[in-house]
Structure 1
Amino acid sequence: MVERLLEWSLRNRFLVLTLALLLIGGGAWAMRGLPIDAVPDVTNVQVQVLTTAPALGPEEVERFITTPVELAMSGLPGLTELRSISRFGLSAVTVAFEDGTDIYFARQLVNERLQGAREDIPPGYGTPEMGPISTGLGEIYQFVIQGDGKSPMELRTILEWDVAPRLRQVPGVIEVNAFGGELRTYEVALRPERLGAYGVSLSQLFEALERNNANAGGAYIEKNAEQYLIRGEGLIGTLQDIGDIVVTSDARDGTPVYVRQLADVRFAPMVRQGAVTQDGNGEVVTGIVLMLLGANSREVVSQVKAAVTDMTPALAKLGVRVEPFYDRTELVKKTIATVAKNLAEGALLVVVVLFLMLRNLRAGLITASVIPLSMLAAFIGMRAAGVSGNLMSLGAIDFGLIVDGAVIVVENVVRMIAERSHRLGRPLDSGERSAAVLEGCREVLGSTVFGVTIISIVYLPILTLTGIEGKMFGPMALTVLFALIGSLVLAVTLIPVLASLFLPGRLEEREIRLLGWVRKHYEPALQRTLRRPRLALGAGMGLFAAALLVAPFLGAEFVPRLDEGALALQAWRLPSVALEESIRQTGEIERALRQFPEVTSVVSKTGRAEIATDPMGVEISDILVMLRPRGEWRTAKDREGLIAAMDSALRARVPGTLFSYSQPIELRVSELISGVRSDVAFKIYGDDLATLERTAAAAVRVLSRIPGAADVKAEQTGGLPVLRVRLDRRAMARYGLNVSDALDAVTTIGGREAGVVLEGQRRFAVQVRYAEDARRDPAQIGALRIRTPAGQLIPLSQVADIRVEDGPSQISHEAGRRRITVELNVRGRDLAGFVADAQAAIAAADVVPAGYFTEWGGQFKNLQDATARLLVVVPLALALIFVLLYVSQGSAGLAGIIFLNVPFAISGGVFALALRGLPLSISAGVGFIALFGVAVLTGLVLLGYAEQRRREGADVLTAASDAARVRLRPVLMAGLVAALGYVPMAIATGSGAEVQRPLATVVIGGLVTSTVLTLLVLPAVYAWMQGRATGARDHANQEAAP
């Protein structure tokens, strides 16, 4: 079928050229609409269930909210993980599903179960709601609202009601999360002494507020043939409206008692659990734009910027402006620039090598035409498959790999035209040239098709990877497959047409001096290996054995870190710290960081925002540090050195605070996927919080002593001071009080919503709260008065025991069980080696009590899972290669000889990693899989010609020798162009180079050894094994051959 396609192409050259033009047009269209991002989105399919419960502490949140939600979610179809965090005023439950589950279907399942969970939660304790549909790559644009002379409350109001609604209209934006500043409320600040003086209870006050904030309709009346609607308007519109509400009548003289007589009515901020600061200059108001799952980040950010530009004149009239401090497109631009630079340099190297080896400009350009056309074919496939253009999908393309099929075809066509024109002593005419092209293509058609097919098929097992590694490398495999399929079709159709049209009728096979020098030294070496095949094979396999011995010492990591051009620090303080103290310390941290010349901006988020997609307490700060380009660094040359310098400065500036260091996307993705923010997580499961805390503290002491451990800390679960108001039911009974009477007073300490005020489209809560000077300490709280049914006012302390106790600050669950986590990062050594030492140290220290169990997680868990899958995928790829070789050669022996290139290639890949000091990683593993196909291709080309010579009547030794000499140039070209295509990736230093480097290093190193051994060992082994099989020449005769 392929041969008929070749013949059809040469008969219909104009049609083939027309189809090529259509390919160019379709590829350009696909490229323009291709979603672009820095890295693939590896976040699992998950739904967050968030419940705000301002009146509840962590234990009550766990008992009354988190547990009912978890029980409701248990048993959902496709559920893979269920974890939760219960903090003061917040429950956050994460429900993770199997990869491939439609996110909207998952949310539908969760929403159906939430209906039952809401019924199990006591009234007034909060309503569970699903969080926004976003991912670890969702935070694409962050900005601050600034305005001279504007208060934090004014800035927050403008963000909430002027900026955020406009940005939410941008296609692809799922939410704009406001953080920082003060959320405006209409506050009724109660004076307890005035309540007592007028004999007013809290229930009377709330009833009055609720009954005096409403509208009503009276249908309509008809008058003079017209219809008049009847409306009764009684909504609160101003502070004065609230103050003028009548609560009751004075029992002494019957005069009305107004709200303003009982409380101070004013604008005040809602009780907050977080704040944002910038550059050590105090608090700011920020907006975080969250992108919808699956949207194109480049387009969404572009439209967000356009919307900000459109709003600028209107905002200027309000006296404010939008100042961005984080823009995902900056990372996208840097990463895509790295990819584009590597691809351009790789393509240039390939073209140069093609020209030098073929010594014919037209032949070189014909071969090189496959590069852009295959790339355009890949763009069409990516657009159809929904694959985005990013570091992994585009960065792993090797143009040398793509042109291998065309290289073999064009090299043989050039040789065929040169031989025929030399034999005829004149240039070939058009018909003779087409016949020579057809014959030259036919001769290598089988090797080319099977070779490129093998290269393509070895990528198929990569598509079976799941989890994070599947999402990272699956798009890469698809993109390469699309490009390879395009290159194979072009090699069979367009390349022969271009060769028949543009190659001259007379060609001379000229070799560059370097190739002549190589051939001069190669042929004697080949004869020596042909005389001693056992020694040659032994040397090759000895090299492989040495590589196997070296491999365990390389170490292992999951995936190299992508340099995002920014750092994400976390500061951990004691759980008892107040928000204002955290803000003060964060300012000190920011000023210390701004002393580093590498830092351009520092923005810190302490605690959590109102939409708590990141449920932190006020003791934790996320600090985003924007950095200058690496070339402008002066404090340190690399990221590790800069972190070490920052850590020393911060520990001296803010003693007692723990720090950990990561990067923005890396931090967010790690937290969403596994619930932890570090390389390694040691999880301890059990029931008693105190025992969990003691065990975690012991584990911290053990792990801190292991070389390579950094940022070691235990999840802070205790140490939060709690003012407990325990009601005495007997004392309450004596006064005829209900529990709700006392709890109303407790709730009003923090603020209780009593309605909403509408200002046009804006909505603001009415909060009733005791005035600040009545709730400063436990004694004042105990003195709060409660009205009995008899009209008597008694202090709260008379019916309750009020005392300060230590309580939990956070309670974490996983799979329904309580859990505490010890988090740490690894610096200066490989991840797998560190965890092996850590596991041994924990086992030796025996820190885990009976009845409790542990688990290792974080990036290490990802490495474990990925390694287990690679142990299946790699043998599968090898098996596929052997099956294809057997099908193409029809002989298990011949397939086995060609298959020897696989261990030869592995040897070079391992040694290349060792020489560069790179550990084994999933990137390197994928590089090995890609390498196998290219290595087999060169062996197939060489031994394919040897089999052809044997069919022509040559003996085995002559066939092997002729094949090695004739196929020297195409084998060198195939190996050289494939290796050189990866050279820019191997030596690149831009954004994203870290991820590409191991893959490129493996392929280059493996191609070096496999190409050398293909030319030296394979012919000898072929002659020896095939000679023995046919009886044409026994081993003794081979040893005696001159």
Structure 2
Amino acid sequence: KQIRAAEQEGGLVRWLKRKDTGLLTWGLAHPKMVLTVTGLLFALAASLVPFFGTEFLPPFNEGSLTVNFSAPAGTSLTESNKLGTLGEEQILKLPEVAYTARRTGRAELDEHAESVNNSEIEVAFKTEQELKQVGKKMRSREEILTDLRQRLALITGVNVNIGQPISHRLDHLLSGVRAQVAIKVFGNDLLELRRYANEIRTAAGAVPGVVDLQVEKQVQIPQLLVRPRDAALRAYGLERGQVVSTLETLFQGDVVSQMLDGQKRFDLIVKLPEAQRNDIATIAQTRIETPSGALIPVSQVADVSYEPGPNTVNHENTQRRITISMNVAGRDLGSTVKEVQTRINQRVKLPAGYYLTYGGQFESQQSASQKILWLSLFSLAGIFLVLFSHFKSSYMVGQIMLNIPLALIGSVVAVLLTGGTFSIASLVGFITLTGIASRNGIMMISHYIHLVEHEGEQFSKEMIIRGSLERLVPVLMTALVAALALVPLTLAKDAPGKEILYPVATVILGGLLSSTFLDIVVTPVVFWLFGAKALAQYQRGHHEVSLDAHPQELDAQPLTPQADLNPVSSAG
């Protein structure tokens, strides 16, 4: 059979088997050298991992941009419109830009209401064919963003944040800020928060790769303060809450009824005319009623004045906070944020009661990495239990799972060749690879067991070489089919829609190649060194199972001589 099968094999297969025979013969004769080289390769790959950059998700290529303009609080709609127009003119100077669309402010009833000092510009790009028609060439995304930031930096007095539509919304969901990283400073005094935020901004701005750095807009605006005097209130028999409620109705208004116009409803609000609500002298002379029915001016029971105050006070978890936001360009997110943390710790000293947190993609990346680490441990434990339930040998399972570190070697090389940055997508590829890599070991070792159990082979080098050669083609075919399926995902790295699939595919493809080629020689060598113990353990485990599965064989009936079964015929 083997001779006929060999005659039917193609020339390529016969050539591969001849080469594999020589490799196996050499490897089985030098097992220590094979394992030493493999161990060094694994140690080298593992030592490179801490030096790789990290990020939450790979950079998206959505084919468009979202540019946020933020002018100082209190900027009128007319001025915001002028600034937005200037921004659009600078953006349209880029040859790759097809058109822009801008929205300044958002309605109060909108789910994401924005004041008129904030503008959002959507930027659409031309296709490569359109640029070729005018003799232009499409630049890389990084070159376009660098040029755009330089042009928008000419517009003073506004904070600019450049992102992409989906990325911006993901960042907003993660941290409440339309930026990759949000540094939140918590404390009690708003002026101190502002001062520390500016110090943090200065420290972070010195870190290479930090762009679109800005402090949350917060300015001092005049505010009307009415402070009731307790002694005067008691003299007139008034209560503080009653006075505050009356003043709120007079100046802010109170809904007393509704008017119907067909299907429409309109609130009927009672308050003073606008002229009496804007002049401080008129406000001080506004009359309120006492319990005795007399009307007295507000100035008799309260101090009325204009004082500067912040235009907005933001709280999170019942604490006041101010946010510093930034994006990262030209380097990975993880190393950039770590350098920012180091600079801030060295230059900014926060007193007791003040602290800061890092949110956005950096926080999500750390949380997801820890979760994936625990899930990968559960995955390895699950693979071990499944294999042990079949082979009943820890030695056998260990040799099969040896393919996992072999796959790590190729995965690390693949990440190194494609930029040297780990993302959550890369980690997902590693977990997927653990199951795929174990398959080759199962195919090889299960065939060794088959040769010993069913074909009368003895444990020897000849048996290992025969089993390896007979499994060479299936191993290479399954690996080749999987690799060919992944190749389309590794092409056109920057194509829209492939950003997350690309790192997954490259990690699996690199690990699949290294585990397959190393498995051809490493698995036979390891089986030669430890296979005898593994086979003995395997046979003991399956022998015990077979006895437990057929207990009737232990309780067989006693043997009866044939003569005793036929007494009549024996007597005759």
Could you tell me the TM-score, scaled by structure 2's length? Answer: 0.81
**CA deviation after TM superposition for structure 1 residue 755, in Å:** 5.5
The 5 Å alignment of 1:694-705 reads 694-705=195-206
1:836 counterpart SS class? helix
Letter in 2 for 1:746: F
Structure-2 separation of matches of 1:587 and 1:635? 27
Choose which of 648, 655, 674 in structure 1 pairs with 2:156.
Answer: 655
User: 1:1005 is matched with which residue: 504, 510, 534?
Assistant: 510
User: For the residues of structure 2 that align with 1:744 and 1:880, how far apart are their CA atoms?
Assistant: 67
Contact 1:534–1:1021, Cα closer than 8 Å, also in 2: no
Instruction: Quote the offset at 1:533 in angstroms.
Output: 1.4
In structure 2, give the amino acid aligned to 1:889.
F
SS of residue in 2 equivalent to 1:994: coil
State the Cα deviation string for residues 160-209 of structure 1 (Å, max 9, x = none): xxxxxxxxxxxxxxxxxxxxxxxxxxxxxxxxxxxxxxxxxxxxxxxxxx
After superposition, what is the alpha-carbon deviation per residue over 1:432-473, rounded to whole angstroms, capped at 9, x for unaligned?
xxxxxxxxxxxxxxxxxxxxxxxxxxxxxxxxxxxxxxxxxx
Deviations 1:674-713 (A, max 9, x none): 3232222222221111111111111110011011111111
CA distance change for structure 1 residues 630 and 859 in 2, over 3 Å: closer, same or farther? Answer: farther
Aligned residue for 1:537? 35
Please say if 1:897 is aligned against 2:402: no
The letter of the residue matching 1:983 is: V
Does structure 1 residue 978 correspond to structure 2 residue 476?
Answer: no
Q: Aligned AA for 2:118?
A: I
Return the offset for 1:856.
1.6
Work out whether 1:710 is the aligned partner of 2:211. Answer: yes
Query: Aligned pair 1:928/2:430, yes or no?
Result: yes
Partner residue in 2 for 1:879: 381
Structure 1 residue 798, shift from structure 2 partner: 9.2
SS at match of 2:207: coil
**Displacement of 1:828 after TM fit?**
1.4
How far the C-alpha of 1:950 sits from its partner, in A, is 2.0
Distance (whole Å) between structure 1 residues aligned to residue 259 and residue 444 of structure 2: 83
The aligned runs of 1:73-152 (5 Å cut-off) are none
What do the CA deviations read for 1:648-673 (whole angstroms, capped 9, x no partner)? 22221x21211112222222233233
1:724 aligns with 2:229: no
Structure 2 counterpart SS, 1:972: helix
Whether the 8 Å contact between 1:693 and 1:820 is mirrored in structure 2 is yes
Q: Assess, with a 3 A threshold, how the Cα gap between structure 1 residues 546 and 797 changes in structure 2: closer, same or farther.
A: same
CA contact (8 A) 2:210 2:329 kept: yes
2:289 and 2:393 map into 1 onto residues whose CA distance is: 100
- Count of aligned pairs between the two proteins: 520
**CA drift at 1:641:** 2.2
Q: Once the two structures are superposed, what CA deviation does each residue of 1:245-271 show, in whole Å capped at 9, x if it has no partner?
A: xxxxxxxxxxxxxxxxxxxxxxxxxxx
Per-residue deviation at 1:814? 2.1
Please tell me the residue identity of whatever aligns with 1:964.
S
Identify the residue that residue 331 of structure 1 maps to in structure 2.
none
Structure 1: 5+ residue stretches without partners = 1-418, 424-506, 1032-1042
The answer to whether the aligner puts 1:1016 opposite 2:517 as a matched pair is: no
In the TM superposition, 1:172-211 aligns within 5 A as none
1: CA distance, partners of 2:18 / 2:511:
24
Q: CA deviation at 1:623?
A: 2.8
What is the distance in 1 between the residues matched to 2:138 and 2:318? Answer: 45
1:829 is paired with a residue whose SS is coil
In structure 1, distance between residues paired with 2:15 and 2:311: 74
**What corresponds to 1:953 in structure 2?**
456
User: Aligned partners of 2:389, 2:245: CA distance in 1, in Å?
Assistant: 82
Say whether the 8 Å CA contact 1:710–1:825 is kept in structure 2. yes
CA positional deviation for 1:961: 0.4
Change in Cα spacing, 1:817 to 1:969, as seen in structure 2 (3 Å) is same
Residue 543 (structure 1) shift: 1.0
| Counterparts of 1:606 and 1:932, CA distance in 2 | 51
Which structure's relative contact order is higher, taking Cα pairs within 8 Å and 6+ residues apart?
2
The 2-side partners of 1:1029 and 1:741 are apart by 89
Counterpart-to-counterpart distance in 1, 2:276 and 2:421? 59
Q: Following TM superposition, by how much is the alpha carbon of 1:942 offset from its aligned partner in structure 2, in angstroms?
A: 1.5
Q: What do the CA deviations read for 1:74-102 (whole angstroms, capped 9, x no partner)?
A: xxxxxxxxxxxxxxxxxxxxxxxxxxxxx
Partner Cα distance (1:687, 1:616) in 2 = 26
C-alpha distance in 1, partners of 2:109/2:394?
Answer: 64
The structure 1 residue matched to 2:191, chosen from 656, 672, 690, is: 690
Percent of aligned positions that are identical: 34
Pair 1:878–1:693, CA change in 2 (3 A): same
* 2:164 corresponds to 1:640: no
Instruction: Provide the C-alpha distance between the structure 2 equivalents of 1:864 and 1:630, rounded to a whole number of angstroms.
Output: 37
Question: Within 5 A, what are the aligned runs for 1:267-666?
Answer: 509-511=8-10, 513-629=11-127, 637-652=139-154, 654-666=155-167
Could you tell me whether the CA contact under 8 Å between 2:223 and 2:309 is conserved in 1?
no
In 1, Cα distance between equivalents of 2:129 and 2:430: 32
For 1:796 and 1:585, the matched residues in 2 are separated by: 43
Q: Does 1:822 align with 2:348?
A: no
Mapped to 2, the partners of 1:990 and 1:764 lie a distance apart of 52
Give the deviation of 1:959 after TM superposition. Answer: 1.7
Q: Do structure 1's residue 991 and structure 2's residue 489 form an aligned pair?
A: no
Going from structure 1 to structure 2, the CA distance change for 1:798 and 1:586 (only over 3 Å counts) comes to farther
Do the aligned partners of 1:901 and 1:1010 also contact (CA within 8 Å) in 2?
Answer: yes
Return the alpha-carbon distance in structure 2 between the equivalents of residues 1023 and 994 of structure 1.
44
Q: How far off is 1:1028 after superposition?
A: 7.2
For residues 772-792 of structure 1, the C-alpha deviation after alignment (integer angstroms, 9 at most, x for no partner) is 8x489x6x5544774677999
Distance 1:802 1:587, change over 3 A: farther
**One-letter code of the match for 1:604?**
R
Aligned match of 2:466 in 937, 945, 962? 962
2:55 match: secondary structure: coil
In the aligned structure 2, how far is the partner of 1:1014 from the partner of 1:560?
31
Distance in 2 of aligned mates of 1:566 and 1:1000: 25
The alpha carbon displacement at 1:516 in A equals 4.5
Contact between 2:55 and 2:423, CA under 8 Å: does it hold in 1? yes
Structure 1 residue matching 2:357: 3-state secondary structure: strand
Q: Which amino acid aligns with 2:311?
A: S
Is residue 313 of structure 2 the alignment partner of residue 811 of structure 1?
yes
Question: Which residue type is aligned with residue 1022 of structure 1?
Answer: F
Shift of 1:1026: 2.1
Shift of 1:975: 0.8
Superposed displacement of residue 520, structure 1: 3.8
- Cα deviation for residue 884 of structure 1 reads 2.4
Does the 8 Å CA contact 2:174/2:364 hold for their aligned counterparts?
A: no
Cα pair distance change 1:688/1:643, threshold 3 Å? same
* C-alpha contact 1:927 1:998 (8 A) present in aligned 2: yes
Residue aligning to 1:244 = none
In the alignment, the residues of structure 1 paired with residue 461 and residue 149 of structure 2 have an alpha-carbon distance, to the nearest angstrom, of: 67
Q: Conserved in 1, the CA contact under 8 Å of 2:184 and 2:324?
A: yes
Q: Aligned partner of 2:224: which letter?
A: R
Segments of 5+ residues of structure 2 without an aligned counterpart are 537-572
Q: 2:252 aligns with which of 747, 768, 773?
A: 747
Structure 1-normalised TM-score?
0.46
Aligned residue for 2:555? none
1:533-565 CA-partner distances (Å, limit 9, x unpaired)? 111121212111110111112211112133233
> One-letter code of the match for 2:219?
G
Q: Distance in 2 between matches of 1:863 and 1:725?
A: 45
Question: CA offsets per residue over residues 714-735 of structure 1, 9 Å max, x none?
Answer: 223x31412314366689989x
Change (3 A) 1:725 1:854: closer
The 3-state SS of whatever aligns with 1:811 is coil
Partner deviation per Cα, 1:210-258 (whole Å, 9 max, x = no partner): xxxxxxxxxxxxxxxxxxxxxxxxxxxxxxxxxxxxxxxxxxxxxxxxx
Shift of 1:815: 2.0
